[in-house]
Amino acid sequence: MKEARFNLPDGRVLTWYEAGRGKPLVLLHGWAMSAAVFREIVDLLAADFRLLVPDLPGHGKSSPAAQNDLAGLASVLVSWLAAVSPVLPGLVGWSLGGMLSLEMARQQELPVDRLILISTTPRFTLDDDWDCGLPPAQVRALGRNLERRFEATLADFFSLAFAGEEIDSERLLAIRRFAVKRSPLPEPAAVCGLLDVLAAQDQRASLAAIRQPALVLHGDQDRITPVAAGQYLAQTLPRGAFAGFAGIGHGPFLSQPSRVADLIREFC
């Protein structure tokens, strides 16, 4: 992928990558990851799409955002896309990237063509009326562990993405090499702050107003965002559709990249 930098008015920088030609697709990665996680799926889709892949603020080589929440990150992405993509883009968001895709569609500051939401939830934590999330105590413990042993905690969280899968150890090692090892660690303050945002995030009330076609991809072994959250998204979004992945955890595009690429092509 070709690397580029977008300079924000306040002097901060968004680093992004480009590959391929055709209809623009924006790939938004998950919490504490970087654009590098999409390396394989970019290779599979580059013949069909112009792929625009940013390091989210505070991740990879991008500066932290001045406003480190969903609205603030979405605003940075909208400013960048307005400058680099004159054609209506589709958004492919994984986990946090899917939440950002929903926020950008809600804001309506920059029209988007359609949404592909991978392992995405409208609410990250459990609540009295929501049983499809992580216990708040588990999220608080994750935050404490980040303060004590930052890099090891991120490694443990990445391993959780594959919990419940039968994945070959060599394949998992190969994924770590391109998805984790080739990018700088995220900014600790940024990812810890975003974890607090995720603990309070609730996008359920905005779903009915999102009119773009939306394809939800979700593994039935997901231990981070349960599959029931993805099914809720597909049922609640006015133009939602669902594709499940049996025996797959939080990263379907990592575990079954060819199938995910085929579904994206078909949907777009």
Respond yes or no: is residue 59 known to be catalytic. Answer: no
**Beta-carbon contacts of residue 68 (< 8 Å; ≥ 6 apart):** 57, 58, 190, 193, 194, 197
Catalytic residue among 62, 63, 250, 255: 250
Catalytic residue among 95, 101, 119, 255: 95
Respond yes or no: is residue 222 known to be catalytic. Answer: yes
Catalytic residue among 29, 34, 218, 222: 222
Give which of 81, 37, 40 is closest to 55, Cα–Cα. 37
Active site residues: 95, 222, 250
